[in-house]
Structure 1
Amino acid sequence: MDRGRFSLLQLDPGEIYFEDFSVIFIPSDTTPKTYDCKKQDGRLKMCSKSLLFDPKDINKPIIKIPLKDCVIIEQWKGSAKFLKSNNVLSVNTREYIEMLEGNVVAPYKFKESANFLFLLNYANIMNCLPQICQLHRASTLPAAEQADMIAAIVHSRQARVNFDPLWLDLYEKVIFEAQADKVQPLVVNPGRIVLSTSRLFFQTYNNVETHPVIKIDLASIKRIVKRRFLLRHIGLEIYCNDNSTNPHIYLSYRNRQDRDNFYEKIFEQPELKINEIGQDVMTLQWQNGIISNYEYLEYINSLGDRTVNDLTQYPVFPWIISNYTSDELDLEDPSNYRDLSKPIGALCEERLKRLLERYNEMPPPKFIYGSHYSTPGFVLYYLARLYPHYVLCLQSGRFDHPDRMFNSLADAYKNCNTNMSDFKELIPQFYDVTQEGRFLVNNMGINFGYRHNSAKVSHVKLPQWANSPRHFVEVLRDALESDVASKNLHLWIDLIFGYKQKGEEALKAHNLFYYLCYEGNVDLESITDLNQRHALEVQIMEFGQIPKQVFKVPHPQRKVGIPLNKEPYQIEKTSAFSDNWKTMSNLELVTSFNSHKGAVNFLFINEDGTRITSVGHDSKLKVFSLPQNKQTRSANIGNMPLSSCIQLPNVNVLVIGSWDNQIVLYDMDYGKVTETVLAHEDAITCMSFGFKCNLLVSGSGDCTVKIWKGLNTNGIIKPIQCLQKQIDHNSHVNCLTFNFENTYLAVGTDDGEIYIWNTEDFALFKKYQVLESSIKAISYSPDGLKLALGGTDKVFKIIDVTSGLSVCTKTLKSPITSLKWMDYLVVLGCEDGVVYVWDIFEVKLLFEIQAHEGFVKTVDISFDRSFIVTGSQDRSIKVWKPQ
């Protein structure tokens, strides 16, 4: 069927198109002689708030007749010789609208009273007239009651439509079926959503879509996101592979239960194979430069319920560049950038001062900004040239006043900095190089009118430093990805999506908006008065909506100076294997040693990778030579299990921690114990040495960490001379580690807490409750910005040190017992004997092997990253290389 020029955008926002009829429109001045030349073939569209005639002749205007303006709707009672049938609909109206005359996008023409006659070619007037009259009655009601009555009509009509099982394949079965709307900007189209064992079907209740049924293979779906639509948690957005015939669909269900039931059912289908990257992993990949700032902002917007399919919650991007007046732009100069630590309304101190004065004099509920940074009107302010039909839909058939339009970048930025009611941020199109800045150009030649200076509104005026729209967007994108922006983007994320979004932190950051902007401040479901509820909905839509809060703690900063998709650290290629972990398919067992008579509790590899030193539950110290592939030293250290062992710098002396509460010095040259000290009141569980600060730290089951200094000066270890400080914790200390610069010491405890101490004075820097269980292993990232940890609840986690934010969380099959992080490699050992090797830069599991029969108690990575070593409860030490 020829659908003509009709679009749902020609209806009022939220209006529903039901069906259409083949008709002949007979203008009121038609006579028998002029009938043949004046009659117009076309389709009459029956909609919830209007009748719309779409003529076959594209030069004729589309006629929209609002039902609220209709005086009479009836079967025609007149007589005319040129009409041989009384199957004619007569409509008398006080006002009607003409649009797309000459097929040109232009403001609608509002015409006064007229009488319309439509001769129905095939439909029977007695069948369709009652339906039109029912909708006419609804149009006379107050807005909220009208919406309620239309919803009842819609429900009644749609309940009579069933899904045609002929769309299914032979062995395909229906799993779930419900009513839902397909959502696009400013329009919703009702239909029926059907989930089968292999596909998703959306069957529309009208014929406006290209196909009567939209089909999506479950196997092509790559992401499914729950959405908040029009303030209710009833939305669902489905993304498919790029090569899918339907790469994307946004659905709105009748209620939350239907949405959640569908969501649950679709994930039960074996055909659905979603391998979605978690939020924390995306944050880590962004920090490491795997994904760009643009991609990360797109992702965070999605988490915050922002989508291009909903203008009320359109993705929001920051103004980055602040200079739109210079002839040239230096992206290396920080003065050309906007301060991302402040909301757009706080950039101008003078304006902010006036806003705060108004705030202080205001009765509750108080707000600093009476206008938002993103509303449907603001989005279309930027996109008027690209989507003029959206503007006409939103603004009742009119364009904005020429002087208020988006005419100049310099003017727009200045206005956002000085105007008392303009706090707009940007939209993705400003940074999307694939669209080449088409939204800045009036390619359709639309007549937007003339400004006060008689200048015709055409293309957006660019800054002098941009030679084309495409170049302008490319420069903005370069600015967004620059080191200057990357250093500070997390501060803007805190304002829009994070912990400074609301409450006291928002007030401190001068980031407080009208209370209706915030999710949850008004429970619309509890408001029974339809008019009051409708008024609130309209208010909220016009004020704009704060995104859903994504982060509750400060967002971590991005590493700067890292080219995208490059390794995060400069790795010295001292071994043929150092860069091969990512390309090898398996881990090869090179050799193993089994001379311990109990569990191997701790081991380390020496700097040149030729020797492994270990201590065990059998009180033994062992040294193994890798070139000779044999044990070269065995010594008995006391009568209790040994927990840890460290090689002191510059001297051939080992420091050993024991379960008998003692620290032992063992001289490798003389093969004997030279010093012992009763260090703790319980077993020593862990030790670490800060080579840059010359500090030894020991942790114990007595809940303390002790700091020792000067151990490698004369080989002395005596409490009076070496003990510097004792720091207390709430439970057993299980693990500890210095950062690379030795400026901080991180401690993991039995109750799942992380303590971070400043090594200058051992004052507490940060404390986080990270796990619900005991933390058994901990390791700093090479840059010192993150901590990797694992515990008895099987959770492997990486946290941002500054904020405590989890930037990677994985639940493994077994409790984690050991961990080591070097460069981009993280090696984990678990209770079930499995060893995991992760590329933590790309957040990708490289290897998972069943390495031992018992707990993997200790792991280490050689300095050149050519091999790893694991020690286990099964008494064995094993050496592994990528194969």
Structure 2
Amino acid sequence: MNKSRFSMLLLEPGEIYFEDYSCTMNMEIKTGCGQQGRLKLCSKSLVFEPREWAHPLIKLHFKECIDIDTVLIGSSKDTNMIKVKVKQYSEMLEENILAPYKFIYENMDFVFLFDFASADECLRQMQQLLRASTLHAPEHNSMVATILHSRYTRMIFDTVMMEDFTEKIICEFQTEKISPLVRHQGKLALTPTTLYFQPFSNVENSPILKMKLEHMKRIYKRRFLLRQVGLEIYCAEESPISHIYLSFQSEKDRNRAHQILEDSPNVKLDRVHIEEMTLQWQNGVVSNFDYLMHLNCLADRSNNDLTQYPVFPWVIADYTSETLDLESVQTFRNLSKPMGALNPDRLEKLLERYHEMSDPKFLYGSHYSAPGLVLFYLVRKYPQYMLCLQNGRFDHPDRMFNSVKDVYNNCLKNMSDFKELVPEFYDTSANGDFLENMYDIDFGERHNGSKVDNVSLPPWAVSPKDFVNKLREALESEYVSRNLHLWIDLIFGYKQRGEEAVRAFNVFHHVCYEGSVDLECIYDMNDRHALEVQIMEFGQVPKQLFTKPHVRKILPKILKPLSNKSCDNHDYEYSMECVNTIRLHKEAVTSALRTGERVISVCRDGTLKVYDLLQRKQIRSVILCSTPLSSCVMVDENIVAAGSWDNEIYLYDVEYGRVVESFRAHDDSVSCLKWLQKDRLLISGGWDGVVRVWGHVGTAGQALRGLKAEFDHDGKITIVAYRYRRNILEIFAGTSDGEVFVWDYSTKDLINKIKVHTSAVSGVCLLCEDRIVTTSENGDLSVTDLSVLNSVYQKQVSVTITSICCDGTCLLWLGGSSGKLLQWNMITVAQLSEEQAHDDLIQSIHFDCPSKTLITASNDKSIKVWQLTQRS
């Protein structure tokens, strides 16, 4: 059986295909001869597909029809023939060769003898569509929609096609399956186990599309043609159907279908949040290419929607050199500016026009991504798309994508060309096939007589594969990695719109921004149609993903403090074995640490105890005060400092078993302590809202005189930390208000105040020079980039977090109120393990690097020693 040559791409974009009929076509009225084939009834045209491939397909536009009627032979109309009289027609795919359509501008009669269908019934439908073709586009679309709805109400979902006849349909929707330039109408049915799409027409390869819910991995709500009616679903590799893009009648229908899938117990989605992906990209786990693809996906860009195709940046500016020098800054494009602002002379002219405009003003009259621009690049790979978009014609040979160098220069100089690139320029899996005339299509000749064939590459590329590989290498290079966040700010971020866009010379026509036009509120059909056509041709700005400056990528040389040989392996983690459980205290243990072979702990009952791990027994026990002790740190080889609820700090000599000194440190309870070995400073935080820094600690009677600094806050101090930045000491204070304060120790100035959490901060850890991890009592885990004061990642973890500890590289331990101990890898941003470490709340976690042990203290009155063994 011959495979059909007919495709929806032979129709106009958005045109509807209803059905087809078996028939014989003649150029004159007689029977027994002519071409056998099938006649396709579409909303704007009739297409005859001959059975013999040597003959072209014939396309008859209704708007070019003079008359359509049944054929009268003698006095009888009972001939089952219809005659279509046209002013012009087109021929397509002659000899099955993909080429521009042939347009024949002459009056012609086409006679169709139907094999099975009734000519009278077919005639009624054709004449109805012929009347619609005489209307203006908005009225035509409305009439066709009415015809389609009438057919839809008569269509019954065929349950015979279902996997199991016992399946119960939860709901049905009228939908369209979207692919580039094509919309297949049909019915969507959802059952507890399967998604079914049954097209209205037989143009699909299968009479029904089946997608198992258990295979679904990612589901995205999409904006389709300015309306929130799209739903895109991606499946696991084992699924026969890898992907589907659906458009619903209304946002309400789309949301209902989405909710049903989200709530289904059979749907197990891979939930990758944008903050998690951003942090992985910043850590170098995710490549620049994959991150940009992810951002495009989240911003409603899809390979199935040419009006919102993924957008990628030009990164190379050198297309003339013999070799590509990725170490030279001159090789690269300035990523902090949009394409339209790279040439100062052109920008000056554009600004002159901009200032003379009335509101709403725009700087650029064309967009960086639109259907025509996408197919400009991809016409050699998808020539049928270009023929569909441009009514059967390719672009003029001189205006085609002939040379990479010429296109880049045009984007720099032309007053109406500001286009960016498509992902195919960096996709090494396809080897640059879009640059080759793989189908040997005759695109015509340029003005100099040269034939349009493969794209001319720069001297530094020996082949399309080499070109794409080098562009990908450039995309992942140090320069681009260091500056890519600036381009993200322009396309997906805070410089996309508003005053920041104006300052960045990044202003496009107001219609292309999400939310600027609500088609649902435009009732005038002409206005609505005009906007749809404009957005189809002009392009759309991606959905805005970020409203604050995007964080920069941390390059390997900056990553060293965060990374070591172990952490270079992204799967780095510890296996944990409890090697000792110490039960010395009569009440909750509030803090514990290890120094050498000793474990020192303080308790809610005011006692401090010292345990010898070698002898496996208690060697010291002292009651320091009658109130709870909150924290302890080692300030010397044998001196431990303990903070108390009686506002005092006690210094205890473990070797001699005596209190060296105690002093009133705060006006309310001392809540936390931190020791800085390098500067021999003790930092204390109190419920009085003050952080104090002490020098001369350990020298008898000198502590109070050694007060070096104090910093006031509104809320209680719950945790303190520090960092050295270019040898400047900065002190962090977490408060009961959920804020983190950053102080300059030398100048005593407040550098930053960041509102990170809605509840009290329970922990602060420094990941690397510019990032801190904070936790809160309500279970929030947050990573904040201090260079832009922006939260890179936020996660609600499975426990209420009461303590936090970092191993100094990329591993994090979180202690919970239920006694659970979680291990996280902050490079891959993933929870590695969850241990039921204690029977009650974990008050403190201490990592001892020399012994590779973890010390946990709990309200269950116990201390546990965990031996850590690295595994990967």
Q: In 1, Cα distance between the equivalents of 2:847 and 2:757?
A: 25
Alignment of 1:813-832 (within 5 A): 813-822=798-807, 823-832=809-818
Residue 672 to residue 246, structure 1, CA distance change in 2 (3 Å):
same
Q: In 1, Cα distance between the equivalents of 2:686 and 2:53?
A: 85
Shift of 1:812: 3.1
Query: What SS does structure 1 have at the residue aligned with 2:247?
Result: strand
Residue 107 to residue 694, structure 1, CA distance change in 2 (3 Å):
farther
Look up the match of 2:739. Answer: 753
Which of residues 782, 788, 808 is equivalent to 1:803?
788
Contact 2:24 2:36 in 1 (8 A): yes
Look up the match of 1:179. Answer: 174
Look up the match of 1:592. Answer: 581
Look up the match of 1:860. Answer: 846
Q: In 2, Cα distance between the equivalents of 1:355 and 1:191?
A: 46
Query: What SS does structure 1 have at the residue aligned with 2:244?
Result: strand
For these two proteins, the number of residue pairs brought into alignment is: 864
Shift of 1:345: 1.6
Shift of 1:834: 1.1
Look up the match of 2:590. Answer: 601
Shift of 1:701: 1.2
Contact 1:676 1:717 in 2 (8 A): no
Q: In 1, Cα distance between the equivalents of 2:601 and 2:418?
A: 63
1:108 equivalent to 2:93? Answer no
Q: Deviations over 1:721-773 (max 9, x none)?
A: 42233222231121121136564332221122222233442433332222222
Amino acid at match of 1:493: I
1:125 equivalent to 2:122? Answer no
Look up the match of 1:165. Answer: 159
1:726 equivalent to 2:710? Answer yes
Query: What SS does structure 2 have at the residue aligned with 1:245?
Result: coil
1:98 equivalent to 2:98? Answer no
Which of residues 383, 403, 407 is equivalent to 1:408?
403
Look up the match of 2:494. Answer: 499
Shift of 1:809: 3.0
Look up the match of 1:49. Answer: 44
Amino acid at match of 2:805: K
Shift of 1:832: 1.2
Q: Deviations over 1:803-838 (max 9, x none)?
A: 344333332343210011222211001111111111
Which shifted more, 526-535 or 698-707?
698-707
Shift of 1:468: 0.5
1:843 equivalent to 2:829? Answer yes
Look up the match of 2:17. Answer: 17
Q: In 2, Cα distance between the equivalents of 1:210 and 1:483?
A: 46
1:370 equivalent to 2:365? Answer yes
Query: What SS does structure 2 have at the residue aligned with 1:154?
Result: helix
Query: What SS does structure 2 have at the residue aligned with 1:663?
Result: strand
Residue 717 to residue 415, structure 1, CA distance change in 2 (3 Å):
farther
Q: Deviations over 1:635-669 (max 9, x none)?
A: 322222122222225x5432322212223333334
Contact 1:567 1:841 in 2 (8 A): no
Q: In 2, Cα distance between the equivalents of 1:340 and 1:428?
A: 17
Query: What SS does structure 1 have at the residue aligned with 2:505?
Result: coil
Q: Deviations over 1:428-449 (max 9, x none)?
A: 1001011000000011111111
Q: In 1, Cα distance between the equivalents of 2:747 and 2:679?
A: 12
Shift of 1:59: 2.0
Q: TM-score, normalised by structure 2?
A: 0.95
Look up the match of 1:137. Answer: 131
Alignment of 1:606-625 (within 5 A): 606=595, 610-625=597-612
Contact 2:566 2:572 in 1 (8 A): no
Query: What SS does structure 1 have at the residue aligned with 2:350?
Result: helix
Query: What SS does structure 2 have at the residue aligned with 1:23?
Result: strand
Contact 1:43 1:53 in 2 (8 A): yes
Which shifted more, 412-421 or 466-475?
412-421
Query: What SS does structure 1 have at the residue aligned with 2:263?
Result: coil
Alignment of 1:620-769 (within 5 A): 620-648=607-635, 652-711=638-697, 714=699, 717-719=702-704, 721-739=705-723, 741=725, 743-769=729-755
Shift of 1:277: 2.1
Residue 624 to residue 332, structure 1, CA distance change in 2 (3 Å):
farther
Q: In 1, Cα distance between the equivalents of 2:331 and 2:826?
A: 34
Residue 572 to residue 176, structure 1, CA distance change in 2 (3 Å):
closer
Q: In 1, Cα distance between the equivalents of 2:485 and 2:744?
A: 24
Contact 1:234 1:254 in 2 (8 A): yes
Amino acid at match of 1:732: K
Look up the match of 1:6. Answer: 6
Q: CA RMSD in A?
A: 2.5
Query: What SS does structure 2 have at the residue aligned with 1:174?
Result: coil
Residue 668 to residue 211, structure 1, CA distance change in 2 (3 Å):
same
Shift of 1:579: 9.1
Contact 1:732 1:750 in 2 (8 A): yes
Look up the match of 1:791. Answer: 776
Residue 115 to residue 810, structure 1, CA distance change in 2 (3 Å):
same
Q: In 2, Cα distance between the equivalents of 1:337 and 1:107?
A: 38
Look up the match of 2:244. Answer: 249
Q: In 1, Cα distance between the equivalents of 2:293 and 2:561?
A: 23
Residue 825 to residue 49, structure 1, CA distance change in 2 (3 Å):
same
Residue 284 to residue 347, structure 1, CA distance change in 2 (3 Å):
same
Residue 100 to residue 349, structure 1, CA distance change in 2 (3 Å):
same
1:146 equivalent to 2:133? Answer no
Q: In 2, Cα distance between the equivalents of 1:277 and 1:440?
A: 33
Shift of 1:694: 4.4
Contact 1:572 1:864 in 2 (8 A): no
Which shifted more, 314-323 or 681-690?
681-690
Shift of 1:85: 6.3
Shift of 1:716: 6.0
Shift of 1:289: 2.0
Q: In 1, Cα distance between the equivalents of 2:441 and 2:344?
A: 39
Contact 1:289 1:563 in 2 (8 A): no
Contact 2:9 2:388 in 1 (8 A): yes
Shift of 1:703: 1.7
Q: In 2, Cα distance between the equivalents of 1:248 and 1:510?
A: 37
Q: In 2, Cα distance between the equivalents of 1:637 and 1:422?
A: 76
1:276 equivalent to 2:246? Answer no
Query: What SS does structure 2 have at the residue aligned with 1:116?
Result: strand
Shift of 1:567: 12
Look up the match of 2:185. Answer: 190
Contact 1:185 1:310 in 2 (8 A): yes
Runs of 5+ consecutive residues of structure 2 not aligned to the other structure: none
Residue 193 to residue 675, structure 1, CA distance change in 2 (3 Å):
same
Q: Percent identity?
A: 45
Which of residues 324, 328, 332 is equivalent to 1:329?
324
Q: Deviations over 1:479-538 (max 9, x none)?
A: 111222111111111111111111111112221111111101122211111101111121
Q: In 2, Cα distance between the equivalents of 1:847 and 1:434?
A: 35
Runs of 5+ consecutive residues of structure 1 not aligned to the other structure: none
Amino acid at match of 1:178: F
Q: In 2, Cα distance between the equivalents of 1:334 and 1:133?
A: 65
Contact 1:16 1:189 in 2 (8 A): yes
Shift of 1:172: 2.5
Alignment of 1:58-77 (within 5 A): 58-77=53-72
Amino acid at match of 2:776: G
Amino acid at match of 1:733: I
Shift of 1:469: 0.3
Query: What SS does structure 2 have at the residue aligned with 1:706?
Result: strand
Residue 388 to residue 875, structure 1, CA distance change in 2 (3 Å):
same
Look up the match of 1:230. Answer: 225
Look up the match of 2:514. Answer: 519
Contact 1:483 1:561 in 2 (8 A): no
Q: TM-score, normalised by structure 1?
A: 0.94
Contact 2:226 2:518 in 1 (8 A): no
Look up the match of 1:383. Answer: 378
